[in-house]
Amino acid sequence: MTLEQEINRRRTFAIISHPDAGKTTLTEKFLLYGGAIQSAGSVKGKASDKHAVSDWMEIEKKRGISITSSVMQFEYDGFCINILDTPGHQDFSEDTYRTLMAADSAVMVIDAAKGIEPQTRKLFKVCAMRDIPIFTFINKMDREARDPFDLLDELETEFGIATYPITWPIGCGLRFKGVYHREHKSIYSYADAHRGRERLSSIDCTIEDTDKLDELIGEEARAELVDQVELLDGAGVDFDLEKVRHGKLSPVFFGSALNNFGIETFLECFLRMTTAPLPRKTEGDTVEPFDPRFSAFVFKIQANMNKAHRDRIAFMRICSGRFERGEDYYHVQGDKKLKLSQPQQMMAQERSVIDEAYAGDIIGVFDPGIFSIGDTVCDPSMKVTFEGIPNFAPEIFVEVEQIDSMKRKQFAKGMNQIAQEGAIRIFCEPNSGMERVYVGVVGTLQLDVLESRMKSEYGVDYRQYPQPYTIIKRVPDGVDVSKLNLYEVKWVQDFRGGNYLLFQTQWHVNHTLDKNEGLNLLEYGDTKDE
């Protein structure tokens, strides 16, 4: 295949949802269709002792939720698909935001009984901000659900986006008979015993074929379906692929991920409607995916994904061209040439070394500690810098104290490695080494993750003490913090030596500025001094 053909068949998308909407289950059904796995694990371990392929941390398996984003690649119907499965819990929203930066489109999973939930709302805004296509899968139709028109109205009102149902549900819960495919004008009949063991065959049946419809779904369901489809056709918006590709119109599908119903229909329509890899903005220009020169950015760093390897992997989204193993590339932020060691294709925590990859692909490379989130790696002739990935200021702080002083090295190594991943913030008091360590997080569940990982990956236990601080500000480079007049303010440094101040309230921030004339404090995540 030519470079253009290879890139054109790539589809890279993120799956987003509120917790428990069925996102990870949907991901696994996609993998089943692609032949990437032979059987799906029970996400919460109820049906078997398996766990979801995309949930690989011990704490994920115990709690039955996704805590870190996973990357999975598989082939289906001539397409090379890169799925980014993201955490649904709001405490890990930053990991999800970063992952969305690496996606060309998003699949939004909504629980049919609950509709739009707070986390879904936040994630949608990130997608809209990036102008990327959004496809909606309304899940759990085999259970009691809200009226589908109410769900569509909520989507349109909350998100300010038009919707176009490609499939339409016939009942719900115990009365769920299947879906009507508006494009194909055919019925997909639901059977609880199906469970994804065979391909679903559509039954050609027009709305006008009253006798056949009555036989398939019953007279009452047929009458309701006819009325609903007439309303959709008469009052609904027209389908417009251009609007879909710019995030202005969301195609909607109904089904049951757990029972593997409606998934294949969704996948086939999605692949046809969504785009190949999109151009990427840099600080001064735009990089086209078909530019033969390789470029990529780091959107995630993860240590200890596989206990057998005990290494750290930097996840890169390829933005242009073709990656070749063994070639010399340029690390823009490090200002040096490098060879990407052992480039890997990922399947959650499983990995295989690859020789090449293309724009749209996600690859993992060994990181000896040189990469940071947002770094650019490219052909030496390009030297581009992609737009930065947002950082979120921590709002909850604790002091941690190791219990066993004999494990000081393991404690320091664990804290430093997890700090470099960028999701959990680790700080120290200046000149204290690792004696006074402070942890900052967005949500309390991240503290549980840190404690679990330090114990399972580094063999370290520690005590933690809640701190009263809720606001963090960065001190510009060149300011001598030791000479500042500080009252009830904690001075800390990150693993790179950057200076930060922790405040209890906005009053403390204002008081510090009043007492230190000319002091300019920056927001957390600001990379440049003003």
Q: What is the pLDDT of residues 294-331, one digit of tens each?
A: 999 998 887 766 555 567 788 899 999 999 998 999 99
Collect all residues with Cβ–Cβ distance below 8 Å to 220 and sequence separation of at least 6: none
How far, in Å, CA of 391 to CA of 388, rounded?
A: 9
Q: For residue 474, what pLDDT is reported?
A: 94
The pLDDT, as a whole number, for residue 527 is 60
Give 87-134 pLDDT, tens digit per residue.
644 544 566 677 788 899 999 999 999 998 766 676 677 777 777 899
* The predicted structure's pLDDT at residue 469: 95
* Six token digits for residue 256: 């049951």
What is the C-alpha to C-alpha distance for residues 269 and 292, in angstroms, rounded to an integer? 29
The residue among 119, 117, 74, 79 whose CA lies nearest residue 100 is: 119
Residue 22 is encoded by which pair of tokens?
């069925």
Decide if pLDDT at 59 tops 50.
no
Say what the pLDDT of residue 431 is: 81
pLDDT in tens, 12-21: 998 888 777 8
Segment 188-236, tens digit of pLDDT: 888 755 554 455 555 666 777 788 888 878 888 889 998 999 999 888 8
Q: What is the pLDDT of residues 323-378, one digit of tens each?
A: 999 899 999 988 999 988 788 886 645 678 889 999 999 998 988 878 888 899 99
Percent of the chain with pLDDT over 70: 83
The confidence band for 489, taking pLDDT boundaries of 50, 70 and 90, is very high
Question: Dihedral of CA 221/224/226/229: which sign?
Answer: negative
Q: Give the integer Cα–Cα distance in Å for 524 and 393.
A: 5
Q: Of 337, 294, 299, whose CA–CA distance to 317 is shortest?
A: 299
Tokens representing 59? 């704490």
DSSP state of 362: E
CA distance 414 to 431: 19
Query: What domains, with CATH codes, occur in the chain?
Result: 8-94+104-273 (3.40.50.300), 280-378 (2.40.30.10), 396-523 (3.30.70.3280)
> What tokens were used for 134?
């959004």
Dist CA 278 CA 289 (whole Å): 6
**pLDDT value at position 87?**
60
Query: How far apart (Å, rounded) are the C-alpha atoms in residues 58 and 285?
Result: 42
Listed in sequence order, the residues at least 6 apart from 367 whose beta carbon sits closer than 8 Å to its beta carbon are: 301, 311, 312, 313, 314
pLDDT at 63 over 50: no
The DSSP symbol for 365 reads: E
Q: Point out the least confidently predicted range of 23-27, 48-52, 137-141.
A: 48-52
Res 55: pLDDT = 42
